[in-house]
Amino acid sequence: MRKALQLKRGWGQQIVFLGPCLLFFLTIVVTPFFLGFYYSSTDWNGLDLDKAVWTGAANWKRIFLNDDKFWESLLFTLRFTVVSVVAANALALLLAFLLMTTLKTKKVLRTIFFMPNVIGGILLGYIWQFIFTKGFATIGEITGISFFQLPWLGTPSTGFWGLVIVFVWQTAGYMMVIYIAALAGIPKDLIEAARIDGARAPQLFRSVYVPLIMPAITICLFLTTSNAFKMFDLNLSLTKGGPGTSTQSLAYNIYAEALINNRYGLGTAKALLFFVAVSLITVTQVWITKRKEVSA
Amino acid sequence: MDTSRYRPKNFILEIFAILLALVFLSPFYLVLSNSVKSLKEILLDAASIPAIFHWDNYSKVWDAIDFPQAFWNSLSITILSVIFIVLFSSMAAYQIVRRPSRFNSFVFLLLVSAMIIPFQSLMLQLVRVTSILELRGELYGIVACYLGFGMPLSVFLFHGFIKSVPYELEEAARVDGSNPYGVFFRIVFPLLLPIIVTVIILNTLWIWNDYLLPVLVIGGNKDLTTLPVAVTKFFGQYTKKWDLALAGLVMAILPILLFFLSLQRYIVEGVTAGSVKG
């Protein structure tokens, strides 16, 4: 009798504690994920929800044989990811080292560098649309520096660098905070010892700091890589993928396929490929950097 | 790298850091100063300090985007979602840690691996699911979506924290006759405060700024339009009218910026805690 009661209570507790979480997670995340496998083989147009016809591999054939724009946006996204991940992390490390030294304005500076992060990508895009079109032009007129006089959102290559600039401006502060936490955790006597052994700044950086903050590097690379690869909001509000489709990110391509061209089935197929690409890239990156981690 | 004394070298570094910070801040300055200029003045010189402050830019936008309504929508969606995320994910994590059955470990694994799935891989099918379940265009519908997407990271954060909570406290409470629900809500939940703050901050920043999910799930229901969606619509109509567009931007940015500045110590700590575990 008592055992039965306990068992019942065990089940009751399981349902009360885990039930709500599972309910929302399964409905909102897991169900759509598996539905994706079905919809990616239909001609679902998003409107006639029940008239989606099974088309087998037609969507996949179309993507692989007949969809240059998709592959162009993949190439764009890869280039964007590589450049902005390197730039954002380099700047973040520089800022972190700067703020590790004794500075009187340390706290204020940390707040300032972090600030762009609290604003959503969509609004950041609009802010920079103004900066690139009006702000830069004015600074260019005053100073005569040609960098500011470029048609920033008007050509494919400047559009690319425009997106990189905004992404780096937004992300560096966040990564800086993580790097600061890692640097603060390094035992002081280790640095002392290396100094006494005659290590100079570059060697100290390469042989002492980097190996010891490797876990933070893993995290920061993971976060920046997956954010850069999934860039959407910024793309939508800053360049709208233009001029033409030259700065269209992969996420934006999927969005446009479904919501502008009304090809939800095809969009779902692309989204599935997108998932595979994101997983492959981030898992490989984490695997590589994890192997380089050491403990102090 | 000398962390102990302030030397001339530190002074030079400080100047360099401050200059860098000014570069970081300049976009904010440009947006803020131009938001109170007339359009003519913006077009003539975007870098100058405004000659006359045109506060009417703000009052015009206030009405055009129905700021009070959009602000209230964002606020209620964010607060409701965050409250339930904190409640449900802490309960789930507690159950997973304290009753590590095979099923519960599997659930945890499922939640953690779902963190890799990009939103774009789910969004189109989510449109379908939400319309079947009649969640579209409803407040509870969008909150339900945020619960689903917020759960993995939040459970993960709570999971890591609960493992470090001493079990003896719970045993003592149980010996004193408390039931499992009492143990959780009276003993364990209050102990989770540091990680609760982190979970609240990370979810608030994300939900408040989110654009795509409200567009897809709220859709045509104007009574629920969130601030980012309202500003985007407005911006689309006033692309060349920078005076109004910029005032709208400032109004959209200000609430979350004030939230950040008033809680910045906790936010930076929260981000650190969230990333080291995540």
Residue of B nearest to A279 (CA): B116
| The predicted structure's pLDDT at residue A177 | 93
| The predicted structure's pLDDT at residue A3 | 52
pLDDT interval class at B3 (50, 70, 90): low
Residue located via tokens 């945890």: B108
Looking at per-residue pLDDT, the higher value among A201 and B102 belongs to B102
Give the tens place of pLDDT for each residue, B207-222. Answer: 999 999 999 999 878 8
Chain A interface includes B185 (CB < 8 A): no
Do B1 and A100 lie within an 8 Å CB cutoff?
yes
| The predicted structure's pLDDT at residue A9 | 63
Average pLDDT over residues B215-240: 87
Chain B interface includes A22 (CB < 8 A): yes
Chain B interface includes A269 (CB < 8 A): no
| The predicted structure's pLDDT at residue A255 | 92
Do B28 and A97 lie within an 8 Å CB cutoff?
no
CA distance A112 to chain B (A): 7
Flag whether pLDDT at B80 surpasses 60.
yes
Do A268 and B125 lie within an 8 Å CB cutoff?
yes
pLDDT interval class at B264 (50, 70, 90): confident
- Please check whether residue A270 is in contact with residue A70, taking contact to mean a CB–CB distance below 8 angstroms: yes
Do A39 and B125 lie within an 8 Å CB cutoff?
yes
| The predicted structure's pLDDT at residue A296 | 53
Q: Which of B21, B42, B231 sits opposite A112 (nearest CB)?
A: B21
pLDDT interval class at B239 (50, 70, 90): confident
Average pLDDT over residues B165-172: 87
CA distance B212 to chain A (A): 8
Chain A interface includes B167 (CB < 8 A): no
CA dist B256 and A207 (Å) reads 41
| The predicted structure's pLDDT at residue A4 | 54
- Please check whether residue B69 is in contact with residue B251, taking contact to mean a CB–CB distance below 8 angstroms: no
Average pLDDT over residues B229-244: 85
Do B124 and A230 lie within an 8 Å CB cutoff?
no
| The predicted structure's pLDDT at residue B83 | 98
Do A115 and B121 lie within an 8 Å CB cutoff?
no
- Which residues of chain A carry a pLDDT beneath 50? 1
pLDDT interval class at B273 (50, 70, 90): confident
Q: Which of A186, A176, A192, A20 is nearest to A95 (CA)?
A: A176
Residues 18 through 37 of chain B touching chain A, CB cutoff 8 Å: 18, 20-21, 24-28, 30-31, 34
H-helix segments, B35-138: 39-44, 56-64, 67-98, 102-113, 123-132
Q: At what angle do helices A156-184 and B8-34 cross, to 10 degrees?
A: 130
Flag whether pLDDT at B278 surpasses 50.
no
Give the tens place of pLDDT for each residue, A63-92. Answer: 898 888 999 999 999 999 999 999 999 999
Q: pTM of the full predicted structure?
A: 0.91
Do A29 and B261 lie within an 8 Å CB cutoff?
no
| The predicted structure's pLDDT at residue B22 | 94
Q: How many CB pairs (< 8 A) connect A and B?
A: 278
> Looking at the DSSP assignment, which residues form a beta bridge with residue A132?
none
| The predicted structure's pLDDT at residue A1 | 47
Flag whether pLDDT at B2 surpasses 80.
no
| The predicted structure's pLDDT at residue A190 | 87
Give the tens place of pLDDT for each residue, B28-54. Answer: 999 999 988 888 888 888 888 888 888
